[in-house]
Structure 1
Amino acid sequence: MKYRIPLALLTSLTAAGLTACGIIPTPAPPTEPPSPSASATTPPSPSGSPSPSASGQDERPALAETRSTLTPDLKVEVVGLNRIKGEHLVAQLRLSNTGTGKHIPWTGEMGDNTRPLGEIRWASGIGVLDARARTWILPYQPAGSPCLCSDRRRDGLDYFIDAGQSITLYAVLPAPSGDPATTTVVTPVGPPMPDVPISDEPPVTPAGMNVPDPDAEPVTTITRRIVTPSQSLDKSEETADDGEDLRVSLSSDVLFAVNKATLTGRARTILARTAKLVDSSPGPTVRVEGHADSSGTDAINDPLSRRRAQAVRAALSPLVTRQGVTFQAKGYGSRSPLYSNDTEEGKRRNRRVTVTFAKPRPAEPEPATASPAETPDETGLTGTAAADGQPISMAVNGLRRLPGGLGLLTYTVTNEGDSEAWFNELHHAKDWMSFKYQAATNVTLTDEAAGRQYLPGRLQVPTDDGGVDSYCACTSVSGVRLATEKFAPGQSKQFWNLFELPADASARTVKIAGFKELQVPVR
């Protein structure tokens, strides 16, 4: 059944050749002629009034822009970001084909690949990053429709964007928490765009764009919890931070002898570090859970994991000095693996005792605000690697601090050769058919002073059977984006990863795939 979204009152803006539509009627822009000195690069007014266009194209100044990693000729610009009723956000993005030869299909690139898309015709991947809440926010979902966003059929959009042409898409989604003045806009196609200003004025949209009212009927909020993992350099423990809880997984191989539940001498040092974290937590409850790999049987793994959890609880509780803390212990055997048991490394990491408690809340500095037109300076090449006999170079563009203890790493990979090349070392996937999870995961940040290594963040997606799927918060190189790692001679593509970035970090050692390490300052 075809779904039709009720539309709010439309207000014609004939003077600018545009139409304001959607949630709140939009006042028309001034009718007096523009100043002779005005240009397309002039910053937009607070109301987001567009520039007149004789060609019929949306020529509003961009608030921020990025490029598609898969198709570098596809430029994505934010041309409107309006908070409505204090709780909704209308995002407008202009997609332009900056090439000269071929047309570009946009629908396959703009869809959200963390949920079923149905027929690929939607702009369901447009969203914002609520960094303080550790949440990736996507468009609302009404009944019978993938999202409250541009639909190629319903909105009369072409499947392709011809060379030199552009289209404008919209998405309606929840506003980020705390009424921030700016936010980070995210899409499936390229690096996120930080510090995009949010207007509280009604949105102004191009002629023919009908933005639906999110309050007109029931809609489902679509969000993805962001989890940022890190591990000690000696691999004795690893943590996962989702913004609410901190999960500390202690290696059973370090805590216990094989098939034993008696703590080793080294375990005391590790538990002392964990106790300090619990002391700085605001939560009253600490959960201690024992886990095993897939070796052995439930008859062996279940009681062993339970005894190990009880041993850690008994040793950890007297080390915690904060009053009023309650400890719970439970064993799960091999039923809750964090990693695949197909490899010895995966089994090692699944043999663990996990201690979970409310995340400590240290003070953090506010991120520096950059001009919307500003782009990070390259810090120089980090090294070279060969792909199919062709030289591949990589340059780090920047490591940028975001709110909520997050950091955004952007880097550019270039084919320096004179023939086509592939560079597919950005992921660890051994099976090229692993469409769902294949992404630029082979990237780490290391803090030698703190003795920690930070891994790319993960987007947690609930499944129909009550489980959770994890998607990398980084450049996708799977599904319709399989050609992301293919480079024409001289072609450059920009990649990105989201990491944990503690408040005291001023520099990090970045390791990307097969390239040499580089010290990168945090800005």
Structure 2
Amino acid sequence: MSYRIIPPFVALLMVSACAQQAPAPAPSTPPSTAAAASPSGTPEDTRPALAETRSTMTPDLKVEVVGLNRVKAKHLVAQLRLTNTGADKDLPWTGEMGDNTRPLGQIRWASGIGVLDAPARAWILPYKPADFPCLCSDQDRDGLGYFIDPGESINVYAVMPAPSGNPAAATVVTPVGPPMPDVPISDESPVTPPGMTIPDPDAEPVTTVVRPLVTPSESLDGSEETADDGKDLQISLSADVLFALNKATLTAKARAVLARTAKLVDASSGSSVRVEGHADSSGNDAINDPLSTRRAEAVRKALSALVTRQGVGFQAKGFGSRRPLYGNDTDEGRRRNRRVTVTFARPQAAAAEQPATPAATDAPGATGLTGTGKADGQPISMKVTGLRRLTGGLGLLSYRIKNDGSSEAWFNELHRAQDWMSFKYRAAFNVRLTDAAARRRYLPGRLQVPAEGGGVDAYCACTDVSGVRLSTTKFGPGAEKEFWGLFELPDGATTMSVKIGSFRDLQVPVH
């Protein structure tokens, strides 16, 4: 059937019915003649898949994108087909497709379907109407039920803002498996299967739900770490490198660190630079506040002399210990909180002029894409299945973990990383990418979500292993599951060193 624009009063009635979990009236549009009957007698969607993935938690759940349509040049309608490829048991789908970055009452249904706007570093999710968790499929309203029978399929949809820049394709994301890059976007009206009615997002007030994606990286010598949100570059310079203990006079080593920062400011088009001093929780405000202010002023003065571009203004301020990046309960967390942060408009990716990454034969570490280890006494193997360059300076790493033993095993290494690298929930974030030539390490991306009571919660842009997905790291004998993570990928890199848990370092080509 064709895409239907629903009048405002009808849409409001639909939302009211959804809030009461009452079934929606049957659509008046005649069913598509392309639909065949499934074994259960339900009309079967025969559209070809534009992309597909598998659930990491439940490999029998196949997810296919069957429609991605831009509507009115500002909305995007995503249609997915969920299939139970198993032969033995029903599969629940609502828990798997829910977005765990929303409040608990909004996680259900298909709220986790979205797209990645890589140039804007934005993770776009379905709209939020006033009285409903999301503008997406609901098990009750759409008559989908909670389970998918063996060999059967259901169709779900989500309506969200279109990615910026009018792209011809997008990366479709779901909570269940690796993102699906390069899915073509059509500007034709969506064609839906029988029984599906897609509401008009302009028919009622809706809230956009967009998670900023921040991609962190750090120098191998620990002198600085960088967070890129697609708009601003935030460089946190280690106070332990810049200054002697309790001092605000720059060290000799600080000059080289500031020279690189000044080069990035010169490559930026922004007219202002913020310099902020920070301390850990040691001491008290009477000591930390003036010290952080003096240190920020010392960096401001040095940077303003090193930056050659005209028309750049600098502001310096100290915040003491009031804005920690990490917990102060570990030595590493406190070390990273002792910093001077320099923030300015993000330069173009090529402006950093990173040294070319050496070929795999010249880089340190083992070549090849596999590794082995142990979990609960069982042999465990790992294989990198791809390191794919996306638009906007991002990279998608995918890898498989397999239990080669004869007994069940839990593999918990993926969420056991450094204490300071904390997220809201457990995820497969114990992964690092390293550019040996540039002496720089890249960490999994972080989705930023406003926290209740203020502040920001961080969710890993990688495989989630919490909540309903807690059993993702449990492997039966011979079981194999695929994991993924989003990283910043340096411009021009052809090979990266990849470290996953305690497996050996691998030299992985970039495609």
TM-score after normalising by structure 2 = 0.89
CA contact (8 A) 1:317 1:327 kept: yes
CA contact (8 A) 1:137 1:222 kept: yes
Counterpart amino acid of 1:53? A
Measure the CA separation in 2 of the matches of 1:14 and 1:249. Answer: 58
Equivalent position of 1:69 in the other structure: 56
Shift of 1:5: 6.6
Shift of 1:475: 0.4
Equivalent position of 2:490 in the other structure: 502
| Higher helix proportion | 2
Equivalent position of 1:36 in the other structure: none
Equivalent position of 1:35 in the other structure: none
Measure the CA separation in 1 of the matches of 2:470 and 2:124. Answer: 25
Measure the CA separation in 1 of the matches of 2:393 and 2:414. Answer: 24
Task: Summarize the alignment of residues 463-482 of structure 1 with structure 2, pairs less than 5 Å apart.
Answer: 463-482=451-470
**Residues 119, 221 of structure 1: CA spacing in aligned structure 2 closer, same or farther, 3 A cutoff?**
closer
Q: Which moved more, 1:354-363 or 1:135-144?
A: 354-363
The yes-or-no answer on 1:264 pairing with 2:251 is yes
The SS at the match of 2:36 is coil
Measure the CA separation in 2 of the matches of 1:146 and 1:131. Answer: 25
The yes-or-no answer on 1:178 pairing with 2:165 is yes
Shift of 1:466: 3.6
The SS at the match of 1:348 is helix
Shift of 1:103: 1.2
CA contact (8 A) 1:429 1:438 kept: no
Task: Summarize the alignment of residues 145-164 of structure 1 with structure 2, pairs less than 5 Å apart.
Answer: 145-164=132-151
Task: Summarize the alignment of residues 2-151 of structure 1 with structure 2, pairs less than 5 Å apart.
Answer: 3-4=16-17, 12-14=29-31, 16=33, 51-55=34-38, 56-118=43-105, 121-151=108-138
Shift of 1:58: 1.7
Measure the CA separation in 2 of the matches of 1:119 and 1:239. Answer: 33
**Residues 8, 270 of structure 1: CA spacing in aligned structure 2 closer, same or farther, 3 A cutoff?**
farther
Equivalent position of 2:376 in the other structure: 388
**Residues 114, 301 of structure 1: CA spacing in aligned structure 2 closer, same or farther, 3 A cutoff?**
same
Shift of 1:263: 1.0
Shift of 1:508: 0.3
The SS at the match of 1:339 is coil
Cα deviation code 1:133-186 (max 9, x no counterpart): 111000000101110000111111110112111111000001111111110000
Counterpart amino acid of 2:465? V
Shift of 1:9: 12
The yes-or-no answer on 1:460 pairing with 2:473 is no
Equivalent position of 1:417 in the other structure: 405
Cα deviation code 1:467-512 (max 9, x no counterpart): 2111110000111110010011111100000000122111100000
**Residues 461, 124 of structure 1: CA spacing in aligned structure 2 closer, same or farther, 3 A cutoff?**
same
Measure the CA separation in 2 of the matches of 1:99 and 1:141. Answer: 33
Equivalent position of 1:165 in the other structure: 152
Counterpart amino acid of 2:444? P
Measure the CA separation in 1 of the matches of 2:302 and 2:25. Answer: 62
Aligned length: 473
| Long gaps (5+) in structure 2 | 1-12, 352-366
Cα RMSD between the aligned structures? 2.1
Measure the CA separation in 2 of the matches of 1:170 and 1:117. Answer: 21
**Residues 495, 471 of structure 1: CA spacing in aligned structure 2 closer, same or farther, 3 A cutoff?**
same
Shift of 1:338: 0.8
Task: Summarize the alignment of residues 320-331 of structure 1 with structure 2, pairs less than 5 Å apart.
Answer: 320-331=307-318
CA contact (8 A) 2:35 2:193 kept: no
The SS at the match of 2:44 is coil
Cα deviation code 1:427-467 (max 9, x no counterpart): 13699xx9932111110100010110000011111234342
The SS at the match of 2:413 is coil
Task: Summarize the alignment of residues 262-301 of structure 1 with structure 2, pairs less than 5 Å apart.
Answer: 262-301=249-288
CA contact (8 A) 2:27 2:196 kept: no
Cα deviation code 1:88-147 (max 9, x no counterpart): 111011111111112111111111100114175411000000111111000000101110
Measure the CA separation in 1 of the matches of 2:249 and 2:232. Answer: 28
Q: Which of 279, 294, 299 is matched with 1:312 structurally?
A: 299
**Residues 104, 147 of structure 1: CA spacing in aligned structure 2 closer, same or farther, 3 A cutoff?**
same
Counterpart amino acid of 1:398? G
Measure the CA separation in 2 of the matches of 1:207 and 1:327. Answer: 60
Shift of 1:77: 0.5
- 4+ aligned runs moved over 3 Å, structure 1: 1-11
The SS at the match of 2:29 is strand
TM-score after normalising by structure 1 = 0.87
| Long gaps (5+) in structure 1 | 17-50, 365-378
